[in-house]
Chains A and B, each alone.
Chain A
Amino acid sequence: MRTRILGAALALALLLAGCSSGGTRDDGRIVLRFQSLAWQQESVEANRELVAEWNATHPDVRVEYVQGSWDSVHDQLLTAFEGGEAPDIIHDASDDLADFAYGGHLADLTGLLPERLTSGIPRRSWETTTFGDGVYGVPFLQEPRVLIANTALLEESGVRVPTPEHPWSWDEFRQATERLSGDGRYGVAWPLKEPVSATLNLSLSTGGRLFHRGADGKVTVRFEEGDEVVPRTVHAQVNTDRSASPTTLGSGGSDTLPGFFAGKYAMVPLGFSYRQQIVQQAPEGFAWRVLPAPAGAGGLAQGVSPQTLSIAEDCPHKEEAAAFLDFLLRPENMVRLALGDWMLPTGTEALADPALHTAEHGWATGTALAAHLRPAPAQTVRGYPEWKDKVATPALQEYYSGAIGLGELRERLEEDGNLVLARYQR
């Protein structure tokens, strides 16, 4: 018996020794770890191909592709930064960068990036990754929220079909959803599991700002006329017109698709990249089209938080990492990444690529909206995540479901919200 236990212990020790980390990978060449969050098949392939192309042409700087996950990226990066073990090149989204940028974990890219890259991306996109005086990421992919519509139902109803040149106003949109409703069908299904970012981003089209920065630099919440239009429209569709499904208010975007395919909902407001799922899952012969989100006093403007590429402050080879970013984000490569993710590139030259202007799958409609995309209003506000989780999400959910009125919504967003923000701005 004793021999057997000793044998097992020895085997285990050997087993563990055999799988230890394996020492240094650095054989004189520079090795950079690139953590990508690409997850869709085409997107992963595009990223891997680009890394392979870089490695084939840059023998002295090897890039290792590491796959991360959107689901857990914040916690994983936080721990890696604290432990000094972060990847060199980091894929994330601009609304996740503030803490890392202010915490000194990300390198300021000012002066590191070539002129071609900095001038090739519009200023409004750079604003999404600018925190204080530094730029902490390259915004490279973004997606507007669009209306995906059932073509047959749209044509049958006789409503005017909106285009980026002649979009619906929010009132027209409300009327259209009423006309599209009936026979157990809803004109629209709002997937508002995460109601805050959808509401805030779409409210830019009606001149909503919600967050107001004072002369002292402090931010306060004010729920004004421009902020009311989108919530009021959704509330009326659900509770007054019955033209929006009340059951999808707590759903994610994917959850609305089966009902959309079955003709239960005529339209669903979704991120532009959901088209990939629609192409995969739509029943044969199902015709759909992409419509721009409604416009208001602010035109077609909406807030976005682009996907970003950053360099870790601890990376010892920042120039090489910046050179890799420059390669990865060349216009032709940005187009490949955009097509793989079914999103829009931020680069103006990439955006002009004919592949992104085809009518098929609504690419042209999305591309036409690119000029109207603005930084999401909340992303530089410190304390926003807590305000969102503790105040705004429950308040908006209750308002949309009809449990509270506009007055109470305003009161909670402003009074409770400002108490939360104040704690972060002392």
Chain B
Amino acid sequence: MRTGRGARAGQYAALLAYLVFLAFPFLWLVSTAFKSPRELGSLHPAWIPDDPTLANFRQAFDEQPLLHAALNSLLAALSAALIAVVVATPTAYVMARRRSALARAATGWVVVSQAFPFVLLIIPLFLVLKNLRLIDSVPGLVMVYVVWALPFALWMLTGYVRAVPAELEEAAAVDGAGRLRTLVSVTAPLLAPGIVATALFAFVTAWNEFFFALVLLKTPEKQTLPVVLTHFIGAEGVADLGPLAAAAFLATLPSLVVFAIIQRRITGGMLAGAVKS
């Protein structure tokens, strides 16, 4: 069935509208970051700043240790993503392939654990970490991020493992490949897009996380970017809008870059898996 020209144009228009809807907050953030305080106080704000300025960026860097905070965030997010994937991948494999009661219970627990709001967890978590002397330390924060990301990572990866036909592994076994060889040479490459997507999810979750970092880190030198960003907000929600937008814009860049680099690989990998099955 061929799509008519009008219908195709309509599809593109809908897609464009959706893209604009998604991109609007980000584009507005970028626009705000380059505006002077006077322009920010204008009743009819323009998309393109009349007199673009870098003053907000300068002020943001002068007032807050943004680079240092970004490094802390990067360290925490990368570590959390790596550990989450290393722990979740084999676990998800077992949960997907073994149809035991334990696997079913684990899957149920993963779903249930998502229902707990973090405000319920923070005080017990704080006390546990305090006993482990992990308060005010990035490793402590990484541990929390891993625990926080793990249920969803497991759930995601279990789905990916299920999508890899067990027949492929059986075929490899028939060809004489051992268990480990099958996992490494057959299953792992097919799972790669899922692992990358899961790592990305864990990375972005940790990169953006605010509350745990606020509560667990005390030393200014260890604070992560989302915590430092709140320093531009005053009492009753009054914000130093220009520097806040400038800093927030910079804070979104790593996620954007990471997505841009690996997006094609994720999609490509998924398609490759689909064809093989």
Contact = CB atoms under 8 A, between A and B. Distances in A.
A72 interface: yes
Interface in B128-187: 130, 133, 135-139, 142, 184
A9 B87 CA distance: 12
B218 A20 contact: no
Query: Number of contact residues on B: which range applies?
Result: 35 or more
A277 B238 contact: yes
A369 to B, nearest CB: 19
B30 to A, nearest CB: 20
Interface string A277-309: 100111110000000000000000000000000
A83 B83 contact: no
A264 interface: yes
B238 A80 contact: no
Given A76-B214, A194-B236, A258 B220 contact: no
B209 to A, nearest CB: 13
A267 B133 CA distance: 54
Interface string A24-46: 00000000010001011100100
B127 interface: yes
B15 interface: no
Contact of B237 (A66, A85, A252): A252
B230 A69 contact: yes
A15 B237 contact: no
Contacts of A329: none
B230 A72 contact: yes
A66 B126 contact: no
B234 A19 contact: no
Contacts of A75: 119, 211, 214-215
A40 B138 contact: no
B236 A252 contact: yes
Interface string B98-126: 00000000000000000000010011001
Contacts of A359: none
B262 interface: no
Interface in B29-43: 37-38, 40-43
Nearest to A2: B184
Interface string B67-90: 000000001000100110010000
6 nearest A-B pairs in the assembled complex, by CB-CB distance: A281-B41, A262-B43, A69-B230, A21-B137, A280-B37, A258-B43
Interface of B: 37-38, 40-45, 59, 62-63, 75, 79, 82-83, 86, 119, 122-123, 126-127, 130, 133, 135-139, 142, 184, 210-211, 214-215, 218-220, 222, 227, 230-241
17 contacts: A1-B184, A21-B135, A21-B219, A21-B222, A33-B218, A41-B240, A69-B214, A71-B233, A82-B123, A85-B130, A254-B241, A258-B43, A258-B45, A277-B238, A280-B41, A281-B40, A284-B38
Interface of A: 1, 5, 8-9, 12, 15-17, 19-21, 33, 37, 39-41, 44, 65-67, 69-72, 75-76, 79-80, 82-85, 87, 93, 194, 252-254, 257-259, 261-262, 264, 271, 274, 277, 280-284
